[in-house]
Amino acid sequence: MDSETSRYSNQYGWEREVFDNIFGERLWRSVKYEEGYLNEYRTGWETEKRLSRYFHHYNEERPHQSLNNMTPYEVYLGGKRMCANDF
């Protein structure tokens, strides 16, 4: 892709790479559909607690197809799968 087709200007005139936002957009889509829309939060503390649990699950337990069915934490560790006895 050449630089002319891979960049765009938004309504504020900022130039950005087309794919800069893709990972953030995918993360928030997962948060909304796997956690947010399925639960009713009554307080800010409850929201924080449940989202914290979800992000732990997302990063350390949930395999990601785009990461060859590894978790982000496993990728961060260099592809090593960890178990409880490794600590």
Q: Give the pLDDT of residue 53.
A: 93
Which sequence spans correspond to the domains of the chain?
Answer: 22-86
- Read off the pLDDT of residues 15-63 as tens digits, 9 standing for 90 and up: 666 666 777 788 889 999 999 888 899 999 999 999 999 999 999 999 9
Q: Give the pLDDT of residue 80.
A: 65
Tokens matching residue 5: 């087709």
Q: Please tell me the pTM assigned to this model.
A: 0.63
Q: What is the CA radius of gyration of the chain?
A: 18
Kindly tell me the sign of the dihedral angle through the C-alpha atoms of 31, 35, 38, 40. Answer: negative
Q: Could you tell me which residues are beta bridge partners of residue 16?
A: 8
Q: Give the pLDDT of residue 67.
A: 86
Q: Give the pLDDT of residue 36.
A: 86
Residue reference for tokens 């947010």: 36
Question: Regarding predicted confidence, which is higher, 67 or 23?
Answer: 67
Tokens matching residue 51: 């989202």
